[in-house]
Structure 1
Amino acid sequence: MPARYTITYFPVRGRCEAMRMLLADQGQEWTENVVTGELWQKGDLKKSCLFGQLPQLQDGDFTLYQSNAILRHLARNHGLYGKDAREATLLDMVNDGVEDLRLKYVRLIYQNYDNGKASYVEALPAELRPFETLLAQNDGGQSFIVGKQISFSDYNLLDLLRLHVVLAPDCLASFPLLSGYVQRLSARPHLKAFLESDAHKQRPINANGKQ
């Protein structure tokens, strides 16, 4: 049977790695429709995209844009949106916090890497502390970011934390719960297999080579 999902995106991890991690960990197969810079510059594909941007997710005859909307859609499909409305709201809060930090990371990578990296890394503890606090409040930090089961926000947070460990290898040294969280989630069998795959390792983190 053909894969249920098709991801259309550039040949980088970027905005799609969290959803790839989710799908891999949930034992789902998907097809990659890789868009080269040359194809994107021609403009036809961009015009066909609802907001003029990628990623795009095709789920059967259902087409979606916006990476966080896609994550939430996959969460609903696979029971990754908490056990009740309270947990779902907390997961939305976490995901918004992840998005806030991701936007700062993207601005650094694409706009101010050479001049801004040192100050960004210096300010990073204040950005990471809320996530450490949330972990501490849930099962003493030995479980997931919210509740007793993995969620879409966990995949998004895990991806963001792994990006920052590449950017600043010691950034989690003063956050033992976050450090353990990254190790614990990355060791989940299906997710570990994906993270160790050539498809993941050979895919650049960002389009400009900065990381």
Structure 2
Amino acid sequence: MAGKPKLHYFNGRGRMESIRWLLAAAGVEFEEKFIETREDWDRIRKDGSLMYQQVPMVEIDGMKLVQTRAIINYIANKHNLYGKDMKERALIDMYVEGVADLNEMTIVFPVHPPGVKETKLSEIKDKAKNRYFPAFEKVLKSHGQDYLVGNKLSKADILLVELLYNVEELDPSAIASFPQLQALKNRISSLPTVKKFLQPGSPRKPYTDKKSVEEPRTRLPCWQQAEQG
């Protein structure tokens, strides 16, 4: 029997958090090996585990997978979270790419200096409320189903709800005008596996504040280069 997936990353959200969400929603227990020192980084880089010398990296089913989207796609395929046919997968991918565009802004937000953060926060709010959230609201409203594609849970629903949580941390009113998104968030959050992940003490990482960014920078000066683009 295959062991638990092992996640190699820094002890924080970053690009690994979407992978944590997807595994948790699928009910998959996983282990984490945090890269906390320069020695940790040199070890994993020199042993040939990282194809592009970047993380996230996930050991799963005898493979060492890198690149966030490749990892997410594998997990989604394995756990039936990727639609029933090519058309559904195309839609799911299209929605996930939109989610990733906005989520990338929330991921890098904490690393911006104070003088830039105000501008970046305004940009996140504007794009969320005027571009991305209206698009997903329209999709859900157009078919009146519980999920984005095929009326069945997919990686698109899970990653969109992760995004909703991330944006709400920056702007609590972010989805106040989007009843379909509110309903989706409540629906996904009520799934037993996701509900467990949202509880204190779960593998879900806390909000990335200034301290949690500065600490790895101090211990591991190359951490931004080590994370994939």
Q: TM-score normalised to the size of structure 2? A: 0.80
Task: State the Cα distance separating 1:114 from its structure 2 match.
Answer: 3.9
Q: Deviations over 1:12-60 (max 9, x none)?
A: 12222222222222222211111115445x5443454222221111113
Structure 1 residue runs of 4 or more that deviate by more than 6 Å after TM superposition:
none
Partner residue in 1 for 2:199: 196
Partner residue in 2 for 1:10: 10
- Alpha-carbon distance in 1 for matches of 2:208, 2:66: 19
Q: Deviations over 1:108-162 (max 9, x none)?
A: 3323324432343244312321111122223x1x411111211112221111111
Matched pairs, number: 207
Inter-CA distance 115–43: structure 2 relative to 1 (3 Å threshold)? farther
Task: State the Cα distance separating 1:186 from its structure 2 match.
Answer: 0.6
Inter-CA distance 39–144: structure 2 relative to 1 (3 Å threshold)? farther
Unpaired runs of 5+ in structure 2? 214-229
Indicate if the aligned counterparts of 2:7 and 2:57 stay in contact, CA closer than 8 A.
yes
Matched ranges for 1:88-167 at <5 A: 88-111=89-112, 112-126=116-130, 127-138=132-143, 140=144, 142-167=145-170
Aligned-pair RMSD on alpha carbons? 2.4
Partner residue in 1 for 2:225: none
Partner residue in 1 for 2:66: 65
Indicate if the aligned counterparts of 1:5 and 1:58 stay in contact, CA closer than 8 A.
yes
The percentage of counterpart residues that share the same residue type is: 30
- Alpha-carbon distance in 2 for matches of 1:104, 1:156: 14
Unpaired runs of 5+ in structure 1? none
Indicate if the aligned counterparts of 2:128 and 2:174 stay in contact, CA closer than 8 A.
yes
Q: TM-score normalised to the size of structure 1? A: 0.86
Indicate if the aligned counterparts of 1:19 and 1:155 stay in contact, CA closer than 8 A.
no
Q: Which amino acid aligns with 1:24?
A: A
State the SS of the aligned residue for 1:108. Answer: helix
- Alpha-carbon distance in 2 for matches of 1:210, 1:171: 24
Indicate if the aligned counterparts of 2:102 and 2:127 stay in contact, CA closer than 8 A.
no
